[in-house]
Amino acid sequence: MRAKVLLGWLSQEAAIRFLQTSCIFDPPLTELQAEALWAEKKAVVDALAPRPALSPAKIAMTAAEREAANKFLAFHRSTGQPTHIQDVVKLDPRGLVASQFEINLTRATEHMTYAHTATWCARNCLATQRPDPPPELHDPSEWMEFRGSTWRIWHGT
C-alpha cells in the first residue's frame, strides 16, 4: 500500500515503531536510524509558525445534498440508539485542521475516481442503513487511534 505519513507530528515512540514495523527498508532501519529520521522531521514541525485554527465557512448544499443529509439524520434518529449527530454541514475540507497523520494513497486514489460525481459523497459518507452482515470488528486496518481512544472507521453504503 502506498501511503504518506507525517512523521514529525507523531510522538517519537509512535514514529520509531511505525518506521520499524510498518515500513520496508533494505536493510531495515535500526532504532537509532529511525530516531534520527523522526528527529529531522520533528525539527521541521517545531520550526513552523503558529497558525490560527479558524472555523471553516459552511457552504450551501444543493437540494440533493440536503435531501441526503435529511435522510441520514432521520435514519440515525430513528434507530432508538443515542446519537451525538446534530446536523450535517458542507465545508471546504482545505479549511479544516485535522489530526490525521497517515493517508492511504491507494484508497484516496480510488475515492478520487468517484468523488466528482454529485451523489458519491452522500452515498459513501451519509449511511442510511446498517450493513448486512454487520462489519467485522476485528480487522485492525479498520481501526484508528484518536486522542487516546480507539475508533472503528465505518464507511457508508
Only one residue has cell 478520487, namely 112
Phi, psi (rounded to 5 degrees) for 82? -60, 140
Percent of the chain with pLDDT over 70: 78
Q: What is the mean pLDDT of the chain?
A: 78
Q: Is residue 60 within 8 Å of 32, Cβ to Cβ?
A: no
73 contact partners, CB below 8 Å, separation of at least 6: 85, 87, 88
Say whether both 36 and 63 belong to one domain.
no
Q: Model pTM greater than 0.85?
A: no
* In a domain? residue 114: no
Residue pair 105/3 in contact (Cβ under 8 Å)? The answer is yes
pLDDT tens digits, one per residue of 57-88:
899 999 988 999 999 999 888 888 777 888 99
Is residue 110 situated within a structural domain?
no
Non-local (6+) Cβ contacts of 39 within 8 A are 12
Q: Which residue has the higher pLDDT, 72 or 149?
A: 72
**Domain identity same for 87 and 36:** no
Q: How many helices (H) and strands (E) does the chain have?
A: 5, 6
Write down the pLDDT at residue 91. 87
Clarify whether residues 21 and 93 are in a common domain: no
pLDDT in tens, 80-131: 877 788 899 998 877 877 666 677 777 777 777 777 777 777 777 787 776 6
Determine the structural domain holding residue 16 and report its residue range. 3-46
146 pLDDT band, cuts 50/70/90, is: very low
Measured CA distances, 60 to 16, 41, 90, 96, 118 (Å)? 43, 39, 7, 17, 14
pLDDT of residue 133 exceeding 60, the answer is no
Q: Does residue 72 share a domain with residue 28?
A: no
